[in-house]
Structure 1
Amino acid sequence: MLHPPFKLLSSARPVDAASGRPALFNAAGCCEPAEDCKDSEDGAPAGRVRLADLDTNFYCSVIGTCLTTAELRKLVARFCDVAGASDLEVHHEAVRLATQDTAVTRALQKALDHRHAPVIQRLSKMHDAAALAASWEEALRQGEIPGAYWAALMHRKATPELRQRAFGDVHMLSHLVGAANRADIRRLVALEHDNAELRERLDRHLIRSQELMEERDKTIASQKQALIEAEAGNARGAMLVPDATDLAHAMRARAEESERAAALIAVQTGRRERAEQAAVAAVAEANRLEEELEHLRAHAIALGRELAAAEAQLKLNASEAVPGAETDLDRQLQGRRILYVGGRPSSMPAIRDLVQRHGGEFRRHGGGLEDRAGLLASAVSWAEVVAFPVDCIDHESVDNLKRICMRQQVRYVPLRSAGIGCFAAAFSGPPTEADGAGPPTGRSICPRHG
């Protein structure tokens, strides 16, 4: 086993007499079966080609490609001792024994047929070299080399050219596999380098993690010690404070008392707000009633004066007055020019008769209703006293009349109504603050009631 079998086979070739070199085998003849296996009629082999009939130059590629190293080692162990031998040495020994021992050749034939039986059965249905060539091309594309290689070499329709082509393809595949192995080796070296760097980084991280874990353990231990000391301090402090249950009850009672106080405060606040609103409403109502009372009091006084004046006139008409006695009407009307603006026409004769009976002069202006408004200024300039009932004259005439009287410094007397009693009451006493002459007195006069 010092020399590869193919070296031995090459040295066994016949020597060419002319050149002195080993003669080359015929490529077509070396792949043909022996003469006793040829058919006498059409030249086709009877059945499949045997491994012993194949040229021995194919043994190396067939054994190395179509059997695994484990299967080959198990088979060769039946014929020689392979203990301690490498896979290459077992391969060389198998090729050598196959070229020298027919028993080994038959064992290899049987093992290969058994291993690749499905492929052999599929290719047995093909009856020409073209179909075999197409099947071999398909096997190359799919990477199913071992079974297709053995079945194609042993097929009865395989030509020497097809066998030589398959042999060359397998030979080139071995080179490609070697190149791929070299690339894999380079990648393996790079991966081993990266793996070493990663291991170094992992070791550093493990060391750092160990340090952090030690620091964590120290921190936990110190915190446990601090917790134990704090619990001991709390236990000592618990002896100085009342029971937590009593304290909780006291706090709960205080909280309930606070809630009741808050509810009572809310109720009292609502009552106070309602009382304040009622007080505000009562004050407003009291002010309104007071104003109404003042108005009624003034109205009652005016009615009393009118009643007194009417009673005095009745007494005068009944001749109950003392002869030669001077009355208030005499003092107010005697020798005075009285201008009456507005009023009702039905009461004018009685008022005129009253003024003339007490020695006064009387004129009337309709207040813009019966006379022309332009005559009002000349009538005011004639009069000494201007009287007008506020219920029988329009507001515009009242405002115009007041402006004229103030401009001409003439006294004006607003009357509550157009009746003779109201007129007599207005002139029965001394002039009141309701009368006006010249600038206003500062007190507002009711346009209806004087």
Structure 2
Amino acid sequence: MCDAQTTATGALILSSFKGKRKLWELTSKLLCPVIGTCLTTTEIRKLAEKIADNEVARKSDYWLHTWVVSNCDSKHRLSVAVQKHLDRKFAAAIKRFGQVKCRDELKRVWQQHIERGASAEALWALLTHPLCDLPTQDMAYEAIHMLSHQIGAGQRADLKRLHDAEKELVALKKSLDKSQQKAHQTISDKDRQLQLMQQQLADLKAENLRLKEHNQVLAQQDAPHNHSSQLQQLRNELASKTSAVEVLDRQKVQWQQKLQASESNVLGLTQKLQQQQQETRALEGFVKQSLSPCNGCSADSCRDCPDLKGQKILCVGGLHRMTDQYRELVSRCNGEFSHHDGGVEDSRKRLDALLWSADAVICATDCISHDAYYRLKRFCKQHNKRHLFIPSSGLSSFAKAMDDVANEVSCISL
């Protein structure tokens, strides 16, 4: 129920609600953004299987969204199930909002959640709060409406970054193929040359041994004076063969070193390609999840989007202009985002406080001070804090790190 105020003309104006408001008590204008923002496609399908049947759950994403919205304007099994699910999902936010005792404080807490990307939990906790009057709910509706436009702009930017990443991946594959072909040809040539030199070396060693044995026989015999010139000739030939063997030994070592360098180069290019492919797949998952018909719902399936389960993610370093995009990725993955610029303007004390409160730390090593880097690394090892180092501030590297955090991949140390 709600309080009512009467204007001078006798018109009745709803001002605020007594007690916690239910889903079916919201106006029809609010149901669409609430369902679209607060429920994922996977959650809607599970509710459809539970309340209706498997045939309904296999309908399209848009059909399911419309079905839930149209059936939540009154109290029955579906609306009650959605109400219970949202209360469980956003219990922490409801508790935080429940501590607010005045309308100004309610608006301030709402704005804090919006600024850190927690729009879904903030929307549900605000609209069901007893102090939420009509002007406050209109403010929330307008904010979510404009946020949907910003998400649309972000989708276009994500698609462009994905296109650029795919082009880079194709170029890298071509470069790797050429390098591999060249390396394989070089290795093949070096193998043939090495085999030839080894055969020559074996022949020379055999000849050298024969000459040594012959020299020893001549030395043991009391050869006549006319054999001295032949003996000297054999000694000179032995010295020449020994020098040739030494040259071949050095060449063999050089070819072996070049062969090892070629194999190392091929391995490095292969690892770089694998890293690029992983980052591209992670970015593709976020782009698919962002192509939603209504406020962030996945057009294909939310199963591709990693679930951080409410973890607090701290990003240290990175480009300042990418902070909003990092925040958006963390928000889409059901996480809380915080940032420290790595020592450019933010203080060292603030870094320590953020490290204590974070569940996982992602550090962009291409844009961070030495002091912040070593303080972060030392702190995370001492306190067994999950941390990952990414080589660049690009969105694809950050998306890959988000996927690793959600899947509890071991931390990467540099």
TM-score, scaled relative to structure 2: 0.46
**Highest RCO, 1 vs 2 (Cα 8 Å, sep ≥ 6):** 2
The structure having more radius of gyration, on CA atoms, is: 1
TM-score, scaled relative to structure 1: 0.43
